[in-house]
Amino acid sequence: MKLDKHFYAAPTLTVARSLLGQVLVRRSPQGDRAGIIVETEAYTKNDPACHASRGKTRRNASMFGPAGTAYVYFIYGMHYCFNVVTAEEGIGEAVLIRALEPIAGISLMEESRRTKDVKLLCSGPARLCQALDITTIEDGINLAGETIYILAGSQPKSSVAAARIGISAGQSLPYRFYLADNKFISKK
Q: How confident is the model at residue 53 (pLDDT cuts 50, 70, 90)?
A: confident
Q: How confident is the model at residue 167 (pLDDT cuts 50, 70, 90)?
A: confident
Q: How confident is the model at residue 50 (pLDDT cuts 50, 70, 90)?
A: confident
CA distance 6 to 69: 12
For the domain made up of 5-179, give the CATH fold.
Answer: 3-methyladenine DNA Glycosylase; Chain A (3.10.300)
Which of 97, 91, 73, 82 is closest to 10 using CA atoms? 91
For the stretch 117-157, pLDDT in tens is 999 999 999 999 999 999 999 999 999 999 999 999 988 88
For the stretch 99-109, pLDDT in tens is 999 999 999 99
Q: How confident is the model at residue 51 (pLDDT cuts 50, 70, 90)?
A: confident
Taking the domains of the chain in order of start, what are their residue ranges? 5-179
CA distance 114 to 83: 24
140: left (phi over 0), alpha (psi -120 to 50) or beta: left
Mean pLDDT for the stretch of residues 63-71: 96
Q: How confident is the model at residue 88 (pLDDT cuts 50, 70, 90)?
A: very high
Mean pLDDT for the stretch of residues 30-37: 97
Evaluate if residue 170 carries a pLDDT over 80.
no
Across the chain, what does the average pLDDT equal? 93
Considering Cα of 58, then 63, then 69, then 71, what sign does the dihedral take?
A: positive
